[in-house]
Amino acid sequence: MRASEIRALFAVANRPEVVSLAGGMPFLDGLPLETISETMARLIATKGTSALQYGSGQGHEELRERILDVVRLEGIECHPDDVVVTTGSQQALDLVTRIFIDPGDVVVAEAPSYVGALGVFRSYQAEVVHVPLDEHGLVPEALETTLADLARTGRRVKLLYTVPNFHNPAGVTLSAERRPRVLEIARRYGVLVIEDNPYGLLGFDGQTLPALRSLDDDGVLYLGSFSKTFAPGLRVGWVIAPHAVREKLVLASESAILCPSNASQMAISSYLDTCDWKAQIKQFRELYRERRDAMIGALAEHLPAASWTVPDGGFYTWVRLPPGLDARSMLPRAVTARVAYVPGTAFYADGTGSDHVRLSFCYPTPDRIREGVRRLSGVVNSEREL
């Protein structure tokens, strides 16, 4: 195991004078805190002894039923028994990897990939083989070639890890046209797909693409989370898995944590019951869209020598620095100039990616985003003069 580059950054990036375009913290000020606090008080008053008690390893049944309403928005039809509640989708990644991976097995993942997933894969000694993505997401032809090469050399590929919507860190979305192709290729090579989808409902134009899981019941493990559409502090996510996998997931989760927090799960059930959560998601979409616009506008104004993805949802844009710059060695100078980002190297298992940075637009206000990009352009420009 290794310290994540992002965790190491947090201490400096969180200083108030630094504009942090680094972390992926959702902006929670818009949540109806008073209503949530009343809901929670009522929960403890009326169901306190079960909310504060141990619960089921698979997760609270009422919440598993409510989760079906959430995933139906992405075209998924399943049964509450197919759902396993986890402590955030991060724990789901850990459980899935623990079940499937023996040391030396291959996980195929996008280049770049979510840093937290790479950390999990590494901790179980999987070998990550990256497959390129472009502005339409994972490239099916490249996936096919990679899987064919791996098959030829006799490597065991167990999992394909993908973030199809509003990718972390690349900001791109797997096109509707590519979705069945990716599933068909994975199926042909006997590879299970992990569909990690915490951002799927945060599309800025209000459109939600059908989940991979909605196109394939038994070849996909779908990972969902309330972290980006409600509150990460409650630490509630879930997996939708075929029956045989689901049983193993519950056993693995019980051995790790006994059960997910009943209090958190019941708080989320009450929130989903009593608050207009769809309106809340709409509000988040509008908020993040404004921030995305601020980020893209500022990049065009201040960093024309760079290039970047324009995300249709989520939290991140992926910026290619002007030629010759190294995101990692530039970072201390950026922090001195009071702006933080995550170097692209965090998102590759092989340490490449130093020509990119991930910029997050979720947490700072639009004005702070513009100021952060202006500061970053100062750093980039002085770096180019070196």
Contact between 225 and ligand PMP by CB under 6 A: the answer reads yes
Shortest separation between residue 8's beta carbon and ligand PMP, angstroms: 16
Contact between 229 and ligand PMP by CB under 6 A: the answer reads no
Which one of residues 58, 97, 162, 227 is an interface residue with ligand PMP (CB under 6 A)?
Answer: 227
Q: How far, in Å, CA of 269 to CA of 40, rounded?
A: 10
**Which positions from 143 to 172 touch ligand PMP by CB under 6 A, shown as an x/- string?**
--------------------x----x----
The residues in 168-197 that bind ligand PMP, with binding defined as CB under 6 A, are 168, 196
Q: How many residues of this chain bind ligand PMP (CB under 6 A)?
A: 14
Of 110, 122, 117, the C-alpha closest to 6 is 117
Contact between 347 and ligand PMP by CB under 6 A: the answer reads no
Do 187 and 219 meet the contact criterion of CB atoms below 8 Å apart? yes
SS3 359: strand
Which one of residues 164, 198, 200, 343 is an interface residue with ligand PMP (CB under 6 A)?
Answer: 198
Shortest separation between residue 95's beta carbon and ligand PMP, angstroms: 12
Beta bridge pairs of residue 192:
159
Contact between 89 and ligand PMP by CB under 6 A: the answer reads yes
**Which positions from 114 to 133 touch ligand PMP by CB under 6 A, shown as an x/- string?**
x-x-----------------
Q: Which among 74-82, 84-92, 257-265, 372-380 is the span making contact with ligand PMP, rule CB under 6 A?
A: 84-92
- Residue appearing with tokens 């096919």: 144
Write out the DSSP string of 370-385.
HHHHHHHHHHHHHHHH
Shortest separation between residue 88's beta carbon and ligand PMP, angstroms: 3
Of 374, 375, 356, 228, the C-alpha closest to 301 is 374
Which one of residues 20, 39, 58, 90 is an interface residue with ligand PMP (CB under 6 A)?
Answer: 90
Contact between 88 and ligand PMP by CB under 6 A: the answer reads yes
Considering the complex, state which of residue 75 and residue 233 has its C-beta at the smaller distance from ligand PMP. 233
Residues 6+ apart with CB under 8 A from 206: 282, 285
Contact between 317 and ligand PMP by CB under 6 A: the answer reads no
Do 82 and 246 meet the contact criterion of CB atoms below 8 Å apart? yes
Shortest separation between residue 269's beta carbon and ligand PMP, angstroms: 17
Residues 6+ apart with CB under 8 A from 65: 80
The residues in 8-37 that bind ligand PMP, with binding defined as CB under 6 A, are 24
In the chain, which residue ranges form alpha helices assigned H by DSSP? Answer: 5-13, 33-51, 61-72, 88-100, 115-123, 140-152, 178-188, 243-257, 262-274, 277-302, 327-336, 366-385
Contacting positions for ligand PMP (CB under 6 A): 24, 88-90, 114, 116, 163, 168, 196, 198, 225, 227, 232, 237
